[in-house]
Amino acid sequence: MKTYYVGLATTLHDPALAIVSPEGEILFAEAAERYLQNKRAINCEPDPLLRIGELLETYCDPKARFAVARTWSPRYARFPLWVSLAGALGLVQARSLTRFKLDKIAAWLLLERHRLLHLLLCSISSRVKAGANLVTTLRQTYGNRNVVFYDFEHHLTHAVTACYTSPFEQAACLIVDGHGEHGTISFFQYQKPEIRLLKHHRGPESLGALYMLVTELCGFSSLKGEEWKVMGLAPYGQHDEAIARLLGALAGPAKNGIRYPSPRRVRELVLALQPYARVAGTDALAMADLAHTWQAYFCELMDVLLAQLHALAPSGDLVLSGGCALNSSYAGTILGRLPFKRLYIPSAPADDGNALGAALLAYRRENPCAPLPPITASPYLGSEISREALNRLIELGQIPKARLLPGSVHLEAAKLLASGKILGWVQGRAEFGPRALGNRSILADPRDPAMKARLNAKVKFRESFRPFAPSVLHQHGPGYFYDYQESPFMERTLRFREEVKDKVPAVVHVDGTGRLQTVKREWNQKFYDLIEAFYRLSGVPLVLNTSFNIMGKPIIHSVEDALGLFSTTGLEALVIGDYLIEK
């Protein structure tokens, strides 16, 4: 009997679901936040009850056998269950876990005790619920009880997602995030198809936790995943030696990891950082020196980790994943400065990406002798826009300026961009991961110096300091960036050449950089054709690209989501498939 492999990302934030075919082909991968339209979908199921039946019908044979894989080893899931329940009930005097140990964990994670207990409860809840809706739907709707479950370690699923979707046959692999089952940093060696754990920092000392701390000090929310705001703010600041000394005392390099001081000293240092915290109501730019100093120290610690990794697994190829891999400012500096020649970061390096790693691990578990099938690195693995909903929009929406332009919609869209219009662009399957890569994007002309401010104020409704990304035709990349590198998933930041900065001011950050997306025709034909048409009109082979959402909301999922943002923001045109809608 054929088997489908369903991966479920089961941490308390960014739940996701991936489906791999009986032959090992990736059929689907998407974060639950898209369907739920609930940013990060904290403490939600990765397999929503009202969604899972549709996915089974679309991508599987619901009467086949199913292997369901979750992204957290049960060996570590049991430990905090009763602690979490006790915390939820206010029974924090549980004697079996000493108060000292609980305080120690809280200090290492830089959390107050009540918050730690709440997060533990949410983590357990997320893991306990994962898969229940899938099993219920299979049993009740299809009479199918042929389901087996696997559980895989968190960092291993990170590594599998990254290594198996990479173009490499062998590589060194580093995973750095906020927390795994019992640690935060892992070194792997990849020799296709084998992935071998070399070292695991058994922490809980965590570089990701420090990132959370700095995010909160800057006045942003780590719960909402706003660490990227710190990265965007950093170039506006300068080095602050007092802050640097405190950060250096709070964490430093250790053998195959980082080290924190004692829990008491951690608390003293966190308190010493409080005077540098953002005062409510003040501009975020006041925190630029803290952000700048942290970014520099983050890079220093990452350099140490990569040097340690290279000593253990000498290779010219590097695979980097985990939430900290989303720091594109650092990623763009690795090649040429460290002993690696090629770098790969997957489109979904954070916890949502682990759903795919879990599904692939289940496939390998049940097919250990089968060769690893060719696995595409395409990020376009999510949902398609409903054709039925689009037809209803055109028929019933009473939209006076809607045109069907098969084969030429990209030409008309390019004309609108060249004339200064801001455009919503929706095509094909959604991207897997946090970046809009030309299928769920808002696009604009990068030549307009006022475009960044206009977009932030009228469309995205976000802070003025945050930059926008350039999507550039690959063959023109070297002409626009120093030491150009392919960046298919907007995963690294490079420096613009001096002679082109004035041509595209809307996508040049204050430090002269841009978090670019490389665009090739074979990767995304329609998006490539649009940028090429814009190039013919403007002489500029790139467009401004940002995700199709507003601040605090996930990227759009449906026709209704797209139309809602089109109607309530400063968007001036909307393309869905071959339809062009204008205000």
| pLDDT for position 488 | 97
CB 102 within 8 A of CB 183: no
Strands 16-20 and 26-31: antiparallel
- Say which residues have a Cβ less than 8 Å from residue 388's Cβ, sequence separation at least 6: none
**How large a percentage of the chain has pLDDT more than 90?**
81
CATH number of the domain at 43, please.
3.30.420.40
pLDDT exceeds cutoff 90 at 198: yes
Place of tokens 């983590």: 123
Per-residue DSSP letters for 381-438?
A: EEEEPPHHHHHHHHHHS--SSEEE-TTTHHHHHHHHHHTT--EEEE-SEEESSSS--S
Whether residue 328 contacts residue 299, with contact meaning beta carbons closer than 8 Å, is answered with: no
Tell me, yes or no, whether 296 and 340 share the same domain. Answer: yes
pLDDT at 97: 39
Spatial distance between the Cα atoms of 305 and 469, rounded to a whole number of angstroms: 28
Q: What one-letter code names the amino acid at 81?
A: L
Task: Indicate if the pLDDT at residue 100 is higher than 50.
Answer: no
pLDDT band at 105 (very low <50, low <70, confident <90, very high): low
Residue 128 has pLDDT above 90, yes or no: no
Helices (H) and strands (E) in the chain, counts: 21, 23
- Helix extents (H) in 1-48: 32-36
Q: Three-state DSSP class for 28?
A: strand
- For residues 515 and 527, give the distance between their C-alpha atoms in angstroms, rounded to a whole number: 18
User: Is the CB of residue 59 less than 8 Å from the CB of residue 17?
Assistant: no
Residues 393 and 359 in one domain: no
Average pLDDT for 184-205 = 91
The pLDDT tens digits for 296-305 are 999 999 999 9
Strand blocks (E) in 58-156: 65-70, 147-151
The dihedrals phi and psi of 346, each to the nearest 5 degrees, come to -70, 165
Q: Are residue 24 and residue 109 in the same domain, yes or no? A: yes
Q: Do both 211 and 293 map to the same domain?
A: yes
For 198, the domain range is 167-345
Q: Give yes or no for residue 180 having a pLDDT over 80.
A: no
H-type alpha helices, 221-374: 227-233, 241-250, 263-273, 288-312, 328-331, 354-366
* pLDDT reading at 113 higher than 70: no
Give me the CATH number covering residue 435.
Answer: 3.90.870.20
Residue 53: band (very low, low, confident or very high) from pLDDT cuts 50, 70, 90: very high
The amino acid occupying position 303 is D
Closest CA to 228 of 240, 211, 243, 209: 211
Tell whether the torsion through CA atoms of 434, 439, 443 and 446 is positive or negative: positive
* Beta-bridge mates of residue 440: 426
pLDDT at res. 21: 97
Examine the domain organization and report whether 193 and 331 are in the same domain. Answer: yes
Domain check: are 423 and 296 in the same one?
A: no
Distance (Å, whole) CA 487 – CA 397? 39
Residue 464, amino acid: S
Whole-Å CA distances, 173 to 20, 124, 160, 374, 566: 23, 28, 10, 20, 41
Q: What is the reported pLDDT for 103?
A: 57
- The tally of domains found in the chain comes to 3
Q: Which helix (H) or strand (E) holds 210?
A: helix 207-217
Domain end among 323, 345, 367: 345
Cα–Cα separations (whole angstroms), residue 13 to 87, 113, 346, 557: 20, 20, 19, 18
pLDDT band with cut points at 50, 70 and 90 for residue 558: very high
Closest CA relative to residue 346, chosen from 370, 303, 381, 315? 381
Answer yes or no: do 84 and 232 share one domain.
no
Neighbours of 470 (CB within 10 A): 28
Q: What is the pLDDT of residue 459?
A: 98
Task: Compute the mean pLDDT over every residue in the chain, rounded to the nearest whole number.
Answer: 92
Q: Please indicate, yes or no, whether residues 35 and 112 belong to a single structural domain of this protein.
A: yes
Same domain? For 433 and 413 the reply is yes
Same domain, 311 and 328: yes
**Average pLDDT value for residue range 83-112:** 48
Domain identity same for 172 and 106: no
Count Cβ atoms below 10 Å from residue 271 Cβ, excluding itself: 9
pLDDT (average), residues 228-249? 97
Q: Would you state the pLDDT for residue 183?
A: 78
- Residue 329's nearest CA partner among 477, 495, 450 is 495
Residues 6+ apart with CB under 8 A from 339: 307, 310, 314, 316
Q: Which of 18-32, 65-79, 97-111, 368-382 has the highest mean pLDDT?
A: 18-32
Q: In the prediction, which pLDDT does 11 show?
A: 87
Within 8 A by CB and 6+ apart from 389, the residues are 558, 559, 560
Question: Do 147 and 13 fall into the same domain?
Answer: yes
CA atoms within 13 A on the CB side of 142: 21
Residue type present at position 398: Q
